Chains A and B, each alone.
Chain A
């Protein structure tokens, strides 16, 4: 199938990102050089350095925690909820005003297609601040008692897959509840969080309410283990989540974890196939599959396997893999060399374990971190590519005959973050939604997010919820 028309390049200009040659950490209301290493944040699409970032050292963590404590015990907790909320509204509006800049910056630093950062990451980040801003003076009505109190200083460690959006998910509810925060963006994607710090500074939040520390795992560990912190919120791998849970054991720190997933996307024979194909593609190729709730296992009813796989392959052949800043790009770059190596390794394991590998013909750029959309069929339930989180554009296809078998296979991983169900039968949707052990079930859709909708895992996908009224619980002393 050859396209009638070709796409002309439609790149967004990188100038819009207003990249600075260097970025500093944000402590106690001021930007300063961190005492850690100066590292280059690189563009994963071409491996060129974007900017230099000075990372935090141990003394910076101490300073940030002290500043956050002073701000908590000083102006922030004394302020009325209504006033606190207005600061959050300011942040929400500033994100909207600078949305194009933030979208381009995010795509440069992360490698994700501009249409995703523009239409998903940035608008949702603003929406989260807008949503939780409104809660700040209404906490008494949230169902956690007549006068719920904040916890104190929150340490927040976030991943590289949605850098700005995860910062918003963490900061907005924490601040709305009256806490102060020390936020650590991921080592490979610090830029948008540091621009968010600029927005927070321009919004005139009291110094120390938000502190942003660039850095790697050592900075994360220092935050998690710090005596001056009352609450840890972490989004990342299950492996690191367990280490954090052990680290805070016995300290009295409150903990919420949003960890890995291996979601089953279950397609019944009566499903609307064209819609299902779009949902499957969105489920696993959104953000190059680097999504904790990605629909990385396709469970298809045996009777329609051939038809669905054929339709899926036809659709995959039309995906445009390439420059993240091009508005026509569907699949961008993998975030880092390390992540690319993991995707390659697990894909090779999939082949070695007997699954059939297929990718559409697509030309990948010479430089940068790229991985073609990949489909594995004939995957056994025990295969590592059916059990382990790949965190890349790799879909493992398994089959089932009965709803019971679909449920058993879907639930048969240590994870429980999300699941998808495709069928035209309403009673089956509700029955499946009921039996799937997952925190989010998308029926006849996939990868939908909203600040009002609680999100979080069952089992080893973590505990606590982000979003909605439920998202307040992790930041109140309840």
Chain B
């Protein structure tokens, strides 16, 4: 008779620039693990957040310049990696939500090389000019992930940001951070360049004001912000004219539509004379 095996428990860390550091502050906070055990996750600090923005900015060069086809391939690879860890994620979120999250990555993977044609086009101007308008990534997007739906909700806000070529600094659901950290491990093995997604666990109310005010963040998704603090975050975002996305409803099972893709793009119009 063999003795009962002692499980190897996981340390849940941050995900910054493709690496998995603890918080530089040395802080952690307890949450309940998938087996009911107590887990101490990293409590990210302002410094961690600033490091994450630096990583996201530097990754933006490569990710935004990648072909849309290539971005789609990588997003699809994320779905493949998540599928392989289906059982593990079911422990956090239930099978139905995991399946929906996988399918959402597939959905957005397919958008990557189609969105430009849907959102852009040529402009029939009144003159001898060829002009076209195309969507381009806004840049670094700060994402406050939804507090309730910590896997499907997280994927639903993150995937569209990446699809259009942005990089992200995500603050995970404060009390349900474990699926996010494990998703970071999926991202880390999916050919996604380091720094494209940076994932922080910690206290949303502590981190959100720094994210909203950071001058090298171009846009902000307020999905996970408490209604009472949205106004002050929007006001802080005005310092560098951030684009702020305030969701109207959070039905993560509904078809995603275009609004999140449209939220973090800049339309560029290019003109050239036609002549000989």
Same complex for A and B? Answer: yes
- Which of these, A252, A439, A452, contacts B123 with CB under 8 Å? A452
- CB proximity of A414 to chain B, nearest CB, Å: 7
For the complex, what is the distance from the CA of A337 to the CA of B228, rounded to whole Å? 44
With an 8 A cutoff between CB atoms, is A433 at the interface?
A: yes
| Interface size class of chain A, counting residues whose CB lies under 8 Å from the partner chain | 35 or more
User: Please, how many angstroms separate the alpha-carbon atoms of A444 and B269 in the complex?
Assistant: 14
Contact A453 B133 (CB under 8 A): yes
B106-130, CB < 8 A from A: 118-119, 121, 123-127, 129
Q: Give A245 Cβ to nearest chain B Cβ, in Å.
A: 4
- Using an 8 Å CB-CB cutoff, how does the interface string of A406-436 with B read, 1 for contact, 0 for none? 0000000010100000000000010001000
CB <8 Å contact, A456 and B129: no
User: Which of A252, A454, A458, A459 lies in contact with B133, CB distance below 8 A?
Assistant: A454
- A478 to B257 CA separation, bound complex (whole angstroms): 11
The answer to whether A262 has its CB under 8 Å from any CB of chain B is no
A246 CA to B237 CA, complexed, in Å: 8
Known A246-B235, A249-B235; contact A462-B125, beta-carbon cutoff 8 A: no
Q: Mark B33-77, 1 if CB is under 8 A from A, else 0.
A: 000000000000000000000000000000000000000000000
On chain B, the residues within 8 Å of A478 by CB distance are: 259, 262
CA of A252 to CA of B247 in the docked complex: distance in angstroms? 11
Contact with B along A251-291 (1 / 0, CB 8 A): 11000010100000000000000000000000000000000
B238: A residues at CB distance < 8 A: 242-243, 245-246, 249
Interface size of B in residues (CB-CB distance below 8 Å): 37
Contact B241 A462 (CB under 8 A): yes
Known A257-B241, A445-B129; judge A440-B234 contact (CB<8 A): no
Known A-B contacts A246-B238, A249-B231; the reply to A433 vs B270 at CB < 8 A is yes
Is the CB–CB distance between B241 and A454 below 8 Å? no
B118 touches A143 (CB 8 A): yes
**A250–B234 alpha-carbon span in the complex (Å):** 7
Cβ-defined partner of A468 (8 Å) among B118, B133, B262, B266 = B133
**B272 x A238 contact (CB < 8 A):** no
Minimum Cβ distance to chain B for residue A314 (Å):
23
Q: With an 8 A cutoff between CB atoms, is A315 at the interface?
A: no
Nearest CB on A from B129, distance (A) = 6
- Whether A473 is near chain B, meaning CB under 8 Å from some CB there, is yes
Within 8 A of A (CB), among B134-152: 138
Contact A450 B240 (CB under 8 A): no
In contact, A452 and B124 (Cβ under 8 angstroms): yes
Q: Which of B124, B127, B262 contacts A448 (CB 8 A)?
A: B127
Shortest CB–CB separation between residue B175 and chain A, in angstroms? 24
- Decide if A444 touches B273 in the complex (CB within 8 Å): yes
Separation of A473 and B232 alpha carbons in the complex (Å): 25
Which chain B residue shows the least CB distance to A143? B118
> Which single residue of chain A is at the shortest CB-CB distance from B248?
A477
Assess whether A439 is in contact with B269, with CB atoms less than 8 Å apart: yes
Determine whether the beta carbon of A463 is less than 8 Å from that of B123: no
Q: Does B243 make an interface contact (CB < 8 A)?
A: yes
Contact of B240 among A452, A460, A469 (CB under 8 A): A460
Residue of B121, B123, B241, B270 touching A443 (CB-CB under 8 A): B270
B131 at the interface (CB under 8 A from A): yes
| B234 & A439 in contact (Cβ 8 Å cutoff) | no
Residues B240 and A459 in contact, CB atoms below 8 Å apart: yes
Contact yes or no, A456 B267, CB < 8 A: yes
Whether A113 sits at the interface, judged by CB under 8 Å, is: no
Report whether A470 and B133 are in contact in the complex, using a CB–CB cutoff of 8 Å: yes
Cβ of B5 within 8 Å of any chain A Cβ, yes or no, is no
| Chain A residues, CB < 8 A from B233 | 249
A-B contact count (CB 8 A): 110
Contact A249 B234, CB 8 Å, known A442-B271, A445-B273: yes
Q: Which residues of A contact B239 (CB under 8 A)?
A: 242
Q: Does B218 contact A (CB under 8 A)?
A: yes
Which residues of chain A are near B235, meaning CB under 8 Å?
A: 245-246, 249-250
- Residues of chain A with a CB closer than 8 A to B127's CB: 448, 450
Q: For chain A, residues 205 to 264, give those with C-beta under 8 angstroms from any C-beta of chain B.
A: 238, 241-243, 245-246, 248-252, 257, 259
| CA of A71 to CA of B265, assembled, Å | 34
Does B86 reach chain A (CB closer than 8 Å)? no
Of B230, B238, B269, chain A has the most CB atoms within 10 Å of the CB of B269
**Which interface residue of B121, B267, B273 has the most chain A CB atoms within 10 A?**
B267
Q: For residue A440, which residues in chain B have a CB less than 8 angstroms away from its CB?
A: 268-271
Alpha-carbon distance between A478 and B131 when the two chains are bound, in angstroms? 26
Q: Known: A143-B118, A250-B235, A445-B129. Is A238-B241 also a contact (CB below 8 A)? A: yes
CB–CB A259/B232 < 8 A: no
The interface bits of chain B over 212-245 (1 if a CB of A lies within 8 angstroms of the residue's CB, else 0) are 0000001000000000001111110111110100
Cβ–Cβ contact A448 & B271, under 8 A: yes
Encode B136-175 as 1/0 by CB contact (under 8 A) with A.
Answer: 0010000000000000000000000000000000000000
Question: Complex formed: what's the CA distance from A201 to B36 in Å?
Answer: 71
The answer on a CB contact under 8 Å between B129 and A241 is no
Partner of B218, one of A243, A459, A465: A459
Q: Which residue of B has the minimal Cβ distance to A248?
A: B234
Please determine whether A241 and B118 come into contact, CB atoms closer than 8 angstroms: no
B259: chain A residues within 8 A (beta carbon)? 478
A470 engages B267 (CB within 8 Å): yes
Check if A438 is an interface residue, CB within 8 A of chain B.
Answer: yes
Assess whether A455 is interfacial by the CB under 8 Å rule: yes
CA distance A433 to B262 in the complex (A): 21
Q: Out of A252, A443, A465, which one reaches B267, CB within 8 Å? A: A465
A356 to chain B, nearest CB (A): 32
Which residue in chain B gives the minimum CB-CB distance to A257?
B241
Q: Which A residues contact B (CB, under 8 angstroms)?
A: 127, 143, 238, 241-243, 245-246, 248-252, 257, 259, 414, 416, 429, 433, 438-445, 448, 450, 452-456, 458-463, 465, 468-470, 473, 478
List the 7 closest A-B pairs by CB distance, nearest first: A250-B231, A249-B234, A245-B238, A450-B125, A249-B235, A453-B123, A452-B123
Chain B interface residues (CB < 8 Å from chain A): 118-119, 121, 123-127, 129, 131, 133, 138, 218, 230-235, 237-241, 243, 246, 258-259, 262, 266-273
A-B pairs with beta carbons under 8 Å apart, 27 shown = A127-B126, A242-B239, A245-B235, A249-B233, A249-B234, A249-B238, A252-B246, A257-B241, A416-B266, A429-B272, A433-B270, A439-B266, A440-B268, A440-B270, A444-B273, A448-B271, A450-B123, A450-B125, A450-B126, A452-B126, A454-B123, A454-B269, A460-B240, A462-B241, A465-B267, A468-B123, A470-B267
Q: A242-B239, A450-B127, A463-B241 are in contact. List 20 more A-B contacts (CB 8 A).
A: A243-B238, A245-B237, A246-B238, A250-B234, A414-B240, A439-B266, A439-B268, A440-B268, A441-B268, A444-B272, A448-B129, A448-B271, A452-B123, A452-B124, A453-B133, A460-B241, A463-B243, A468-B123, A468-B133, A469-B121
